Amino acid sequence: MHRHLLPLFLTALAVAQAPRTIRHTAEIDATPAELFALWTTTAGVRIVFPGADATIEGMVGGAFTVKFAPHIDPDGQALGTAGCKILELEQDRRLVFQWKGRPDFPVMNVEPLPTAVTLTFAALADDRCRLELAHGGFGHGKEWDAGFAYFDKAWRGVLDALIERHARQPVPSPEILALKRTTAFVVRLQPGPKWVEGKGPGEQPKILNHFLYMMRLAKDGRLLAGGACGETDGLGILLVPDRATAERLMAADPAVLAGVFVPKIEAWQTVLPDDLAAYRRR
């Protein structure tokens, strides 16, 4: 290679191999302080990522754990950011935290974690904020390209959702953000193939066994409440760690085993009137 071309070649090579950064901006109808509170509190991050759980310690070195599928991965190890920390924090101005990729992007999950997200909050007129997001540290190659494309689209979606949300309603007050949240599971027991038509719930086969089984769950602290709902259905609230446990418990109900009831299970994220997890300790 000609000696005059070598510096140009080395410069081009260095640029090609330099880490890449995803960048997005959004102008949002909220103050920097309000948005900063969303990203630096557990309750706030649950709003930023609807349906997720979180553990956020709003200080340098504190946890920044988002649990995207809490019912199947309650610690956020596989489908979340378990192990990520806050690297920098400047009140109402700047926040930097580590980030992990999905399980199919393993290059993003090696230690030390290679990527981090920087949020910059700048005040605009009329109590609005310009939020700048930079997710840096992406390398090169097929797997890195897939991760870059995924998070480029994902972060744009997060910011667009914040724009839409704040255009519809104000940021919740600190009192609302501070409310504890517990995931419970609501079970609706509906007539199954062996339900005897013309007879009430108390006359159905295996109903006594069902009642004794539910009493045992209540005594163990896994059933908060249960009883009849309407003319045929039953309703129960299970306090268990995940959907799989709720499904397993209801599958073992004698009336379900007998085909008298069919269970329908839905997750229920509670915020009022109290943290239901406390009932497990009673």
Predicted confidence (pLDDT) at residue 176 exceeds the cutoff of 80: no
Q: Within 10 Å of residue 52's Cβ, how many Cβ atoms? A: 19
Residue-range domain boundaries for the chain? 20-177, 182-281
Q: Would you state the pLDDT for residue 8?
A: 45
Split at pLDDT 50, 70, 90, the class of 275 is low
What is the SS3 string spanning 102-133?
A: CCCCHHHCCCCCCEEEEEEEEEECCCEEEEEE
Residue range 5-44, pLDDT digits in tens:
544 444 444 445 799 999 999 999 999 999 999 999 999 9
What is the architecture of the domain spanning 20-177?
2-Layer Sandwich (3.30)
Q: Phi then psi for 154, rounded to 5 degrees?
A: -65, -45
Tell me yes or no: is domain 182-281 CATH 3.30.70.1060.
yes
By CB atoms closer than 10 A (0-12, 13-18, 19+), residue 94 is middle
Longest distance between any two alpha carbons in the chain, whole Å: 96
Q: In what order do the strands lie in the sheet with 86-90?
A: 20-28, 128-138, 115-124, 94-99, 86-90
Question: What is the rounded CA–CA span in Å between residue 45 and residue 37?
Answer: 9
* Among the listed residues 226, 271, 231, the one whose alpha carbon sits nearest the alpha carbon of residue 249: 226
91 CA to centre of own chain = 24
Predicted confidence (pLDDT) at residue 200 exceeds the cutoff of 90: no
Question: What is the rounded CA–CA span in Å between residue 67 and residue 242?
Answer: 13
Cα separation values, 74 from 69, 133, 175, Å: 7, 27, 25
Dihedral, 175, 176, 180, 181 alpha carbons, nearest 10: 180
pTM of the model: 0.59
Q: Would you state the pLDDT for residue 240?
A: 87
Residue range 182-194, pLDDT digits in tens:
778 999 999 999 9
Poorest-pLDDT segment among 45-49, 74-78, 223-227, 272-276: 272-276
